[in-house]
Chain A
Amino acid sequence: MSDKDKAMDYWKANVRLILISLVIWAVVSFGFGIVLRPLLSGIAIGGTDLGFWFAQQGSILVFLGLIFFYAFRMNSLDRKHGMDEE
């Protein structure tokens, strides 16, 4: 496999990972926090509903998890495709 193909494979895997992460990013904030909140109103949490929790707290926690998940996965992708820095 040439260097160019290797780089292409690496990039495709990266873009796939980014797309998955961004779908989760959008679902928890724009979805659960705003558009889908009326659908989640049946789930009670601390005097309010799940959508309110996602809008004020849950989405931030998911964002945190996403960035570390991405950084961790990319480190192993870097090594697997021989693209890491050293």
Chain B
Amino acid sequence: MDQFTLNLIVVGATFAIYIGIAIWARAGSTSEFYAAGRGVHPVTNGMATAADWMSAASFISMAGLIAFGGYTASSFLMGWTGGYVLLALLLAPYLRKFGKFTVPEFIGDRFYSQTARLVAVTCLIIASVTYVIGQMTGVGVAFSRFLEVSNTAGLLIGAAVVFAYAVLGGMKGITYTQVAQYVVLITAYTIPAIFISLQLTGVALPPIGLFSEYTATGEPLLARLNEVIQDLGFAAYTLQDTSFLPMLNMLLFTMSLMIGTAGLPHVIIRFFTVPRVADARWSAGWALVFISLLYLTAPAVGAMARLNLVDTIYPNGASEQPIAYDERPDWIKNWEITGLLKFEDKNGDGLIQWYNEGNATFAETATERGWQGSELTVNNDILVLANPEIAGLPSWVIALVAAGGLAAALSTAAGLLLAISSAVSHDLIKGAINPGISERGELLAARIAMAIAIAVATWLGLNPPGFAAQTVALAFGIAAASLFPVLMMGIFSTRINNHGAVAGMLAGLIFTVVYIFLHKGWFFIPGTNSFPDTIAGSLFGIQSTAIGAVGAILNFAVAYGVSKVTADTPQEIKDLVESVRVPRGAGSAAADH
């Protein structure tokens, strides 16, 4: 059986399971549609949250970023897990106690302001739509690579599948589908990692293998990796730049990812689905357990893939000659077709020289060896997908990885679409435009909003405003700078009032968006940026990906200052805050909705 048929069978089988579950778990009421009837067990919810959270960025991109960034890319690992501590301690239990369906609803009620609710809806839609565009792009790439269709066709197939189960099932369908997707994606991620860890270190657990000995030479794997890449002029894998600005940027970037994680509405609404307040705390813990399985494996995948790549190109060691182009392995041929891996024989010797041509001190060595520039370009994003091929694993593993990448992208897209549709139908239509709408009407509006959101995201996915990573960074920045601070202050302070919240959200949102546009180009149009997006060239010496944390601080400060000079919050709001702080009475708050 050829690889294509196998891909088709494995991907097709997983999709049949997802759609079957969505039909089985059809939502009948708004409570089931938005919050799965609040009947989801914390462990189940944790698993669904993990699938919801881990997108194409986590599954496909992250290990590649780590492989080529080394220590510096640790921000992704700490940032995308550390946010769950903030969620569990600062938001999830209280928002569950509040017992409503959406994030803007809490902001509107707590800050007794329709304006605050609508500003929150705006922040939510901007953050979620930008995020979902990146997912749809990822769906398109993965489908086109493994089903061997055009990028456009891949994207349209993906959109149809998302539409089928998200629109029919609502939160109830999505929750159980995501459990299945988690199982598929974590299996697909860990199986190749275990094989490769065994090959390189003889240790079956990749996180332990990363810090073990490289069997071929007997030295520690990371020491070996540092050695071979430095021989090619690259910076050491474990190197840290300890000067002030790089360190500050790493701090702020990690912080932005953490706060952004805790402020992303599609993650927060997952905690509305559990039966009790205590379950919301446990559920955040379980979510992190399931997420950690991938996040503890990713650094091993990154380091081992980098080492494998060097060993493939330089089979006799980095100081000897590389392999000849004519003798290249099949996986290089496969990925050359996609254009994501390229070879150019600059010095005409037929060998693949791959090194860091940007390193001035290494240039001398390169000239001595007769090299005229690095001849291989490897796109970060192919690493996880190509990993099983590089390690020579069986073809069923390759098919499984395809299914896993699709599960990651589709589950996140569905969760984001649900957050968008509930904000539109519940907060915008029922909350502002037509409060008298029936439950059936609201459900219909939610499904229509979801269909429109899928259409918009698909269209933007076909013509993306920039790289997926850029749009995802904007989504995190917005969530961190706009939603997280007011949610937190709404619970931990009785003093922050309606004016403070609105001013804070707007200050954080506008500051962050403008700063990103100044560095990435207005609406991501290339060439319209005023500053280069590097540490040295940027406006405050802070890269645009790290600015969300500064926006969040601004949000806190403005909200506090404005609240200080305007009227105190009314007594019934102080009572509301006090009731949110204690778990007692959570069941009734949910039932009277």
User: A-side interface residues toward B, CB under 8 Å?
Assistant: 7, 10-11, 14-15, 18, 21-22, 25, 29-30, 33-35, 37-38, 45-49, 51-53, 55-57, 59-61, 63-64, 66-68, 70-71, 74-75, 78, 82-85
Contact = CB atoms under 8 A, between A and B. Distances in A.
Given A48-B222, A66-B85, A60 B77 contact: yes
A71 B221 CA distance: 37
A37 to B, nearest CB: 6
Nearest to B71: A52
Interface in B332-364: none
A85 B276 contact: yes
Contact of B222 (A30, A46, A60): A46
Contacts of B585: 85
Contacts of A47: 211, 219-224, 226
A60 B211 contact: no
Contacts of A71: 88, 278, 281-282, 284-285
A12 B377 CA distance: 57
User: Which 9 A-B pairs give the minimum distances between C-beta atoms?
Assistant: A47-B220, A46-B211, A55-B74, A47-B223, A47-B222, A71-B281, A67-B285, A56-B299, A48-B238
B278 A85 contact: yes
A70 B71 contact: no
Interface of B: 66, 71, 74, 77-78, 81-82, 84-85, 88-90, 93, 207, 210-212, 219-224, 226, 238, 240, 242, 247, 250-251, 254-255, 276-278, 281-282, 284-285, 288-289, 292, 295-296, 299, 492, 578, 581-587
Contacts of A74: 93, 278, 281
The CB with the most chain A CB atoms within 10 A, among B85, B226, B288, is that of B85
A51 B492 CA distance: 33
Contacts of A83: 582-584
B226 to A, nearest CB: 8
A18 B89 contact: yes
A29 B221 CA distance: 24
Given A7-B581, A33-B254, A67-B288, 12 more contacts: A7-B578, A18-B89, A30-B255, A34-B250, A37-B240, A47-B211, A47-B220, A52-B71, A56-B66, A57-B207, A59-B82, A63-B84
Nearest to A78: B583
A57 B85 contact: no
Contact of A75 (B247, B278, B288, B584): B278
A35 B81 CA distance: 19
Nearest to A68: B285
Contact of A29 (B238, B247, B254): B254
Given A7-B578, A67-B88, A67-B281, A46 B212 contact: yes
B124 to A, nearest CB: 25
Contacts of A60: 77-78, 81, 292, 295-296
Given A34-B250, A67-B84, A84-B583, A51 B282 contact: no
A14 B492 CA distance: 11
Given A85-B584, A85-B587, A21 B78 contact: no
A33 B284 CA distance: 23
Contacts of A85: 276-278, 583-587
Nearest to A19: B89
22 contacts: A10-B581, A22-B85, A25-B85, A34-B251, A37-B242, A38-B240, A46-B220, A47-B211, A47-B222, A51-B240, A56-B71, A56-B299, A57-B299, A60-B81, A60-B295, A60-B296, A63-B82, A67-B281, A74-B93, A74-B278, A84-B278, A85-B276
B546 to A, nearest CB: 13
Contact of B284 (A15, A29, A53, A67): A67
- Most chain A CB atoms below 10 A, which of B74, B84, B221, B585: B74
A86 to B, nearest CB: 9
B89 A22 contact: yes
B211 A53 contact: yes
Nearest to A58: B78
A21 B207 CA distance: 25
B496 to A, nearest CB: 16
A62 B221 CA distance: 24
A67 B85 contact: yes
B540 to A, nearest CB: 19
A21 B211 contact: no
Nearest to B66: A56
A82 B281 CA distance: 18
Nearest to A25: B85
Contacts of B207: 57
Nearest to B238: A48
B489 to A, nearest CB: 14
A38 B74 CA distance: 15
Given A7-B578, A30-B251, A18 B90 contact: yes
